[in-house]
Amino acid sequence: MRNPSGRSLQVHVTEWPVNTALEACYDAVAPIDVSYWLYKFLKIQLNTTQIGVVLPEIVTKFGDGKNVTLKGKIMD
């Protein structure tokens, strides 16, 4: 909705871009590199120490501070 007494640039944000991106991934059945997107937008580099909070066995098996890549696939 436009406010005529507002500033010259007004933006209306919806969930449409996120839903469209997720639907495109679902249709393409392409793997999603979660690690890449976390680093690109939030500057978070996943490692075994961080994931070890949830899965302590990963630190035992691979050691502290090793980089981790998470990929997922949306399936039917």
What is the 3-state secondary structure of 28-43?
Answer: HCCCEEHHHHHHHHHC
Q: What is the pLDDT of residue 74?
A: 65
In eight-state DSSP terms, residue 22 is: H
Angle at 47 between CA 42 and CA 50, to 5 degrees: 80
Q: What is the pLDDT of residue 65?
A: 93
Q: What is the pLDDT of residue 59?
A: 92
19-75 tens-digit pLDDT: 887 777 777 766 788 888 889 989 989 999 998 999 999 999 999 999 988 887 766
Q: What is the pLDDT of residue 10?
A: 62
pTM of the predicted protein model: 0.51
Q: What is the pLDDT of residue 27?
A: 75
